[in-house]
């Protein structure tokens, strides 16, 4: 049963940064032992709110702040810690080289007698915290040898060492597979059953609906409302988060009258994928879905010339190709948008303009040298064609939002004049509202005759945006579907089976 008194209660929280009102009088409540979801697009003020609760930022005057019924006038990070408020940030902030026990119990490591490390106390604390989660891990294993899901467990256990009563988890499932996510959800349930309140911050909607009791939705720094999760649908949550209504309809169409641009025949790479065959026609969008580890990215990198197939054939415009590197693939008109925009897809510290022309330098040369006016024209053209919102083209690309960064990444590939565009998880780290914009671009490109391979581990994305869907599992094509002949639930059932 929920107690009448909320564990945490905030009212009228306002904060301004550099003239921008980041939170406009938000209230927020968490009950003891509850699993609560804090939902909203990037930049809506979720992280700012967490930082106010943990004492990193101070709210403006007029705020009311109660924890466990006690009024709190000036929260500080160390006070939050001693009250049992813990945050597990997305990057986990763990020490890769240190053992599981050291990571969980490191507070004990620095508080031993005579400034020495008390190893016994540390291991005991670690064991206790893990037992509370109902898991057992080898305490002496270096953290970097654990899979990500188990590292997450370590981060949760570390939060529990400090007698946590309220744990915030920031995008905890962003890098987990479905089964790992299920495992984490189980852990969160145990935690909640033992009386610890958990606030789940996520924009992956499916799991939010599965795990939470109630949800608080923020939009543009303002409270949209607090809703019971029961009876909530994904599209309703999206609508609440973005304030817009996205009607989805299947767009699949036949392209049989169009020429085949790419034909893949029995393509295999040991331990990655096997016997992959498909045709891709002009203007067609081929969806590729399946769980992480199904071999999708490996297949894409092979088509892009960054890996060599061990057997099979790639036929491009009727000619068999053997790419020695991705430079040859690019010259032949194959473009690959990486799933990892932060470290592979874009060069984050460099400028928007430089990122945009990075793959198409040959097109802006004049007398063998880069021509600044040509470069400016190309950049201006694509920025406006794809509706990228930027300050100056010279600004570092990391200053843009995920959606705008992705538009620049797409523009980078369109600038080479591709025949085939492979989009690998193009909406990772992109807000729900901005995702629709990305797919709008994808549809327009296909209508203009570009052939697209759309890889995604979210079945709805391929269902609503592809003409045909290939379902990959364990490196093989399990089945090919036509979205017009099945429901989304059917597809999800098959992918998650």
Residues in contact with another protein by the rule CB under 8 A: 17-18, 20, 22, 43, 45, 48, 306, 325-327, 330, 336, 338, 343-350, 354, 358-359, 361, 365, 368-370, 372, 412
Q: How far is CA 106 from CA 40, 286, 340, in A?
A: 33, 49, 32
Residue with tokens 């794809």: 386
Whose Cβ is closer to another protein: residue 311's or residue 325's?
A: 325
Containing H/E element for 326? helix 326-331
Indicate the residue among 3 and 343 with the shorter CB distance to another protein.
Answer: 343
| CB of 293 or CB of 396, closer to another protein | 396
Q: CA-to-CA distance for 188 and 196, rounded, in angstroms? A: 9
- Please list the alpha-helical segments (H only) found in 244-322: 296-303
We find the least distance from the C-beta atom of residue 298 to another protein, in angstroms, to be 15
Name the minimum Å distance from CB 457 to another protein.
Answer: 20
Instruction: In whole angstroms, give the CA distance from residue 19 to residue 16.
Output: 6
CA distance 202 to 367: 51
**Strands (DSSP E) found in 325-460:** 334-337, 365-366, 369-370, 420-424, 451-455
Distance CA 149, CA 168 (A): 17
Cα(485)–Cα(149) distance, integer angstroms:
36
| Residue 35 or 353 with smaller CB distance to another protein | 353
DSSP conformation class of 344: I
Spell 427-458 as b/e; 16+ CB within 10 A means b.
bbbbbbbbbbbbbebbeebbeeebbbbbbbbb
CB 261 within 8 A of CB 286: no
Q: How far is the CB of 369 from another protein (least distance, A)?
A: 4
Q: Determine the Cα–Cα distance for residues 29 and 215; give it in Å rounded to an integer.
A: 10
Q: Least CB distance from residue 47 to another protein, whole Å? A: 8
CB 215: neighbour CB atoms within 10 A? 23
In angstroms, give the least distance from the CB of 303 to another protein.
14
Least distance to another protein from the beta carbon of 128, Å? 38
At closest approach, how far in Å is the CB of 349 from another protein? 5
- Residue 43 or 112: the one with the smaller Cβ distance to another protein is 43
Q: Which is nearer to another protein, 217 or 301 (CB)?
A: 301
State the sign of the Cα–Cα–Cα–Cα dihedral 410, 416, 421, 422: negative
Q: Least Å distance between CB 306 and another protein?
A: 8
Q: Which is nearer to another protein, 28 or 336 (CB)?
A: 336
Residues with Cβ within 8 Å of 489's Cβ and at least 6 positions away in sequence, in order, are none
Output the CA torsion 394→398→402→404 (10° steps): 0
Q: Rounded to 5 degrees, what angle do the CA atoms 287, 473, 181 make?
A: 95
- Least distance to another protein from the beta carbon of 379, Å? 14
Comparing CB distances to another protein, the nearer of 84 and 345 is 345
Cβ proximity to another protein, 141 vs 321, nearer residue: 321
């Amino acid at each position: 049963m929920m107690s009448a008194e909320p564990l945490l209660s905030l009212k009228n929280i306002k904060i301004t940064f550099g003239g921008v009102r980041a939170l406009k009088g938000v209230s927020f409540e968490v009950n003891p032992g509850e699993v609560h979801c804090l939902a909203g697009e990037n930049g809506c003020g979720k992280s700012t709110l967490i930082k106010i609760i943990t004492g990193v930022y101070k709210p403006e005057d007029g705020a009311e702040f109660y924890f466990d019924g006690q009024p709190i006038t000036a929260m500080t990070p160390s006070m939050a810690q001693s009250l049992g408020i813990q945050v597990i940030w997305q990057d986990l902030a763990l020490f890769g080289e240190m053992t599981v026990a050291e990571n969980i119990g490191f507070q004990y490591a620095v508080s031993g007698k005579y400034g020495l490390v008390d190893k016994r106390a540390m291991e005991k604390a670690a064991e206790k915290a893990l037992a509370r989660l109902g898991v057992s891990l080898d305490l002496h294993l270096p953290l970097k040898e654990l899979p990500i899901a188990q590292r997450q467990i370590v981060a949760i256990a570390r939060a529990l060492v400090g007698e946590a009563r309220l744990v915030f988890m920031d995008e905890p499932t962003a890098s987990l597979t479905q089964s790992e996510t299920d495992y984490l959800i189980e852990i969160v349930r145990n935690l909640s059953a033992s009386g610890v309140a958990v606030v789940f911050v996520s924009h992956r909607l499916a799991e939010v609906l599965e795990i939470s009791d109630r949800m608080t939705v923020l939009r543009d720094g303002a409270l949209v409302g607090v809703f019971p999760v029961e009876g909530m649908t994904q599209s309703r949550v999206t609508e609440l988060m973005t304030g817009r209504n996205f009607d989805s309809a299947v767009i699949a169409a036949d392209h049989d009258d169009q020429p085949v641009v790419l034909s893949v025949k029995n393509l295999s790479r040991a331990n990655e994928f096997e016997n992959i065959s498909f045709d891709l026609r002009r203007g067609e969008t081929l969806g590729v879905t399946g769980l992480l580890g199904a071999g999708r990215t490996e297949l894409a990198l092979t088509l892009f010339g960054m890996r060599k197939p061990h057997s099979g054939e790639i036929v491009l415009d009727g000619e068999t190709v053997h790419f020695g590197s991705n430079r040859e693939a690019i010259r032949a008109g194959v473009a690959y948008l990486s799933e990892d925009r932060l470290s592979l897809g874009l060069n984050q510290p460099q400028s928007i303009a430089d990122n945009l022309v990075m793959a198409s330098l040959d097109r802006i040369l004049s007398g063998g040298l880069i021509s600044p006016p040509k470069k400016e024209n190309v950049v201006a053209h694509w920025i406006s064609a794809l509706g990228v919102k930027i300050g100056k083209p010279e600004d570092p690309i990391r200053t843009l939002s995920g959606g705008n960064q992705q538009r620049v990444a797409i523009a980078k590939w369109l600038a080479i004049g591709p025949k085939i565009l492979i989009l690998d998880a193009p909406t990772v780290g992109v807000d729900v509202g901005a995702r629709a914009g990305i797919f709008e671009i994808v549809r327009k490109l296909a209508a203009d005759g570009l052939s697209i391979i759309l890889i995604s581990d979210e079945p709805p994305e391929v269902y609503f945006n592809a003409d045909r869907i290939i379902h990959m599992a364990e490196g093989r094509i399990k089945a090919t579907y036509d979205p017009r002949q099945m429901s989304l639930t059917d597809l999800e059932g098959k992918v998650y089976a």
